[in-house]
Amino acid sequence: MAGLTLIGFILRRSYDAAIVTAAVTLVVIGAIFRPRRLVGWLPAIIVSIVWIRISGSMYDGYNIFRLRMFGITAFPMIAWPTGLAFAYLYLVPLVRIRPWPLRWLLLGLVYSVGIIIAEWLGYNMLGVHLDAGRAYRGWPILNIFHCPWWMQVAYFVNGIAFMGMASWMERNEHLREPARSASRSAPRNAPRNAPTARPGKQDEDQNR
């Protein structure tokens, strides 16, 4: 909660600083509380790099983001992996159905709803507008996805592909959990060794 408050405060000053703070905060929280799930950054970065390369010049500019990296706005380069890593950190563990393709399907549906909500909040509430999106009307009623059709499709494909990678990575997670539980409970259930009397003291007691 404190992290969200900090990001909200920074957001009022600088959108660029806010997205960088969000990414750093997520890494720190993951390292402290869920270090095993930091591996989720790997597929998140892979998906993001592939998408940024495909998108070409579409991310050349935003109305409120000024920080640039490698000739394009830094916002998508930070937001995509951060959002996907956040999903691996908190969303993926909530869905524990098997087999993994079924888990992938459900996570893909949840992501699809989530990206629509995130797009609506970003465009209509926060006022984040892609410069190249001025030429596109976007979805009616919701007023979102102001970009070409292939880019709209990619917004869903990116996350669904990531959820597939995450589900495959954790396909055997249910087999490892009993072992972890047993290792945690072993020290508490281990019998305590009774103290042994010193040989000298035992001989003295017998001679009395």
Express each pLDDT in 56-111 by its tens digit.
Answer: 889 989 988 988 888 888 999 999 999 999 999 999 999 989 999 999 999 999 99
- Count CB atoms within 10 A of the CB of residue 27: 15
On whether residue 78 sits in a domain, the answer given is: yes
- pLDDT (tens, 9 = 90+) of the chain, 208 residues, equals 555 555 554 655 688 899 999 999 999 999 999 999 999 999 999 999 999 999 988 998 998 898 888 888 899 999 999 999 999 999 999 998 999 999 999 999 999 999 999 999 999 999 999 999 999 999 999 999 999 999 999 999 999 999 999 999 998 876 665 555 555 555 555 455 545 555 555 555 555 5
Angle at 169 between CA 167 and CA 172, to 5 degrees: 90
On whether residue 146 sits in a domain, the answer given is: yes
pTM for this model (two decimals): 0.78
Share above pLDDT 70 across residues of the chain, in percent, rounded to a whole number: 77
pLDDT at residue 11, as a whole number: 56
pLDDT at residue 9, as a whole number: 46
pLDDT at residue 66, as a whole number: 86
pLDDT at residue 34, as a whole number: 94
For residue 44, the enclosing domain spans 37-172
Tell me how many domains the chain contains: 1
On whether residue 191 sits in a domain, the answer given is: no
On whether residue 129 sits in a domain, the answer given is: yes
On whether residue 96 sits in a domain, the answer given is: yes
On whether residue 25 sits in a domain, the answer given is: no
The structure tokens 């970009």 sit at: 147
How far, in Å, are 42, 173, 175 from residue 169 at the CA level? Answer: 11, 8, 13
pLDDT at residue 184, as a whole number: 55
Distance from C-alpha of 77 to C-alpha of 183, rounded to nearest angstrom? 40
On whether residue 1 sits in a domain, the answer given is: no
On whether residue 58 sits in a domain, the answer given is: yes
